[in-house]
Amino acid sequence: MGEYPPEPSERLEDLPDGSSHKTETQPDVQAARQAELSALTALGFSKPLLARLTLCSDANGTSLEDELLACGEVEEDAYYGAVARLLRLPFIETIDARFVADLPILDTQLQWPLMLRIGHRHLPSQTAVVPQAARIVDLAAALATLPALGRNLAITTPSAIRSAVWNAGAARRVQTASNRLFETVPQLSARIVMTGHQGFCAGLIIATLASGLILRPMAMLAALHVTLSTIYLLSLALRIAALMRKVAGASPVDSASGARPLPRYTVMVALYREAGMARQLIASLRRLDWPASLLDIKLVCEADDRETIAALKAERPGAPFEIIEVPAYGPRTKPKALTYALACVRSEFVAVYDAEDRPHPQQLREAYARFQASPPELACLQAPLIITNAHASWLSALFSVEYSALFRGLLPMLAHNRMPLPLGGTSNHLRTEALRAAGGWDPYNVTEDADLGLRLYRLGYRAGVLHRQTLEDAPVELSVWTAQRSRWFKGWLQTWLVLMRDPLQLIGEMGLGAFLVFQLMVGGMLMSSLLHPLIILFLGLGIVAMLEAPATAIPPGVLALFIIDGVNILGSYLIFLGLGIGSMIDHEKRLVGRRWTMVPAYWLMTSYAAWRAVAELRTRPFVWNKTPHKPVGRHSR
């Protein structure tokens, strides 16, 4: 990369005629190909290079110019500068956004940057164009016949147009990204934490409990014990079902025999204070097995995070990478950043990763093959996340077990039964059309993944799972783990409250079975985490009571509650370990070692994080607790 093309032919009339070598079956395609060859030859590119580009173009269904700019052998500025010299037109390397009028239609230039009007203050206006190689011959002929045509014409690059358009429309676009979902379908937005109706119901429940504890404390405590123990037990039912009928991850689908050519694929990564991850991230994304000419990688950063932006630019990523800067407006969240960047997506499919992810090189191909083999209602595919630093601490070991249970045990079972999937925050592959139909991500929901998966289900779409994994490292410090887990719980609370604004409507949209699964999956998980210490207390009190009373004097109801509490506690631990470790390979089990004995402490820490999330939902509902990341060590690769 970084080489400049040879000097172009100095005479426009040296351009070969682009009208020959047409066939009767594909005259337009052949004419465009010949015109491209003529222009690239006039620009001085060698025959061996053009032959190689032709092979790639035929395989990928792209133009020779696409392959040239993606191959890394010529820089974009150098190429279009040579085109400008060939056409004897001025070349504009950068466009000042202050001279670009912002209009909504301007956003089309983010997807296909071809032409931009520049209204200079004290000079005549210019039209900056990105001529396609197939039309350079025609443009040269037109300029030779009508010299006045080039009077206010200039050549620029796609990157220059995108940069100017991003900056010119930044204020409008970021306001739209922050507010559109709330303004168009407020009932689906988490911007209002709790509606008046929900607040009334919550107040009524709290008042009833308080009154009962004051007037008849023992009866209310007994009723509360029965209710909470039953809810806790029901929340285990879903995981018990997954354990009893464990469905292995979907088998990898070989896309080698799939249709050709492949479509364009967009990969989006939202980054904030991730300067140290720049090199690893770019290296990981470069390993994706997808033609570079059909890949758009968007690195979405906060505009004021200059350190991360500088680190990314220092890696000189080149094609197919683009760094997008999100203005500081609205909630500073990952979903706001992704929704902001959605305006530039021009591909049929979108994949979302995090800064620390190392996706399997074949993951995009498996996802595309699954999409091709499935009906359009399959809107999303979730790849399994695998933790590679399980040996680092007891926290990372049990985090690894938890991820194994979720991504290789529970989610595959839900997908197999066509149930709603609360997606993981990364390695989601989406149909762009369905994503836009759902309104994108909710900027105010701090677990935008779970919210999006359930919203897609409400709209009639379905989600599936992939086999090929994404590798991650788990937090090893307790403070980092707690902050991350509190954000997750806060987002799950937001999601539950949003969906439960109208339970009857939700049942009508989801169906009763899916509604119950949602309650067990999200509501049950929240309740079991919040209630875990209370169930332990109930179990302890039951043990003390039975030790003090004769066996014949224990009432059947008390004994039944004691058994339920015991099943709840022991069942929580055993199902957690059985589903998680049972889904692991031997190498992962060795990394976990005997750290599984810390499960009780892990569950108590989870409960603490859940209660912290409840407090944050009231005081800081939209604050994003940032999880710091470090590049992987040799042991985690």
- pLDDT bucket at 81, cuts 50 / 70 / 90: very high
At 471, list the tokens.
Answer: 């590798």
- Highest-confidence range of 98-107, 336-345, 518-527, 543-552, by mean pLDDT? 336-345
Among 20-24, 439-443, 598-602, the least confident range: 20-24
Query: What integer best gives the mean pLDDT of the chain?
Result: 89
Rounded-to-integer distance, Cα 358 and Cα 288, Å: 10
At 139, list the tokens.
Answer: 């443009």
210-256: per-residue pLDDT in tens? 898 888 888 887 888 888 888 888 888 888 888 887 654 445 566 54
Q: What would the 3-class secondary structure string for 361-405 be?
A: CCHHHHHHHHHHCCCCCEEEEECCEEECCCCCCHHHHHHHHHHHH
At 57, list the tokens.
Answer: 């173009």
Residue 470, beta-bridge partner list: 359, 385
Rounded-to-integer distance, Cα 522 and Cα 238, Å: 11
Q: Note the pLDDT of residue 23.
A: 40
Residue 67 has pLDDT above 90, yes or no: yes
Q: Note the pLDDT of residue 549.
A: 65
Query: Measuring CA to CA, how many Å separate 402 from each of 65, 386, 425?
Result: 47, 10, 15
> Is 475 strand, coil or helix?
coil
CB 188 within 8 A of CB 124: no
Q: Note the pLDDT of residue 18.
A: 38
What does DSSP assign to residue 471? E
With vertex at residue 538, the alpha carbon angle to CA 535 and CA 539, rounded to the nearest 5 degrees, is: 90
Rounded-to-integer distance, Cα 514 and Cα 530, Å: 23
Report DSSP letters for 47-66, one per residue.
Answer: HHHHHHHHHHHHHHT--HHH
Pick the more confident residue, 509 or 544: 509
With vertex at residue 349, the alpha carbon angle to CA 348 and CA 353, rounded to the nearest 5 degrees, is: 155
At 198, list the tokens.
Answer: 């929900």
Residue 527 has pLDDT above 90, yes or no: no
Q: Note the pLDDT of residue 252.
A: 59
Burial group, residue 197, by CB count within 10 angstroms (0-12, 13-18, 19+): exposed
Per-residue pLDDT averaged across 17-30, rounded? Answer: 52
Residue 461 neighbours by CB distance under 10 Å:
21
Element (H, E) at 346: none
CB 173 within 8 A of CB 440: no
Domain ranges of the chain: 12-168, 195-637
Residue 142 has pLDDT above 50, yes or no: yes
Phi, psi (deg, nearest 5) at residue 129: -125, 155
- Domain 195-637 belongs to what topology? Spore Coat Polysaccharide Biosynthesis Protein SpsA; Chain A (3.90.550)
Rounded-to-integer distance, Cα 62 and Cα 167, Å: 29
With vertex at residue 75, the alpha carbon angle to CA 69 and CA 80, rounded to the nearest 5 degrees, is: 80
Residue 277 has pLDDT above 70, yes or no: yes
Whether the bond between 375 and the residue before it is cis, its omega within 30 degrees of 0, is no
Residue 634 has pLDDT above 60, yes or no: no
Q: Note the pLDDT of residue 253.
A: 60
Q: What is the CA radius of gyration of the chain?
A: 29
Q: Note the pLDDT of residue 554.
A: 67
Residue 574 has pLDDT above 60, yes or no: yes
Rounded-to-integer distance, Cα 205 and Cα 212, Å: 11
Strands 265-271 and 358-359: unpaired
Region of 62 on the Ramachandran plot (φ > 0 left; ψ -120 to 50 alpha; else beta): beta
Give percent above pLDDT 70 in the chain. Answer: 91
pTM of the model: 0.90
With vertex at residue 236, the alpha carbon angle to CA 230 and CA 238, rounded to the nearest 5 degrees, is: 125
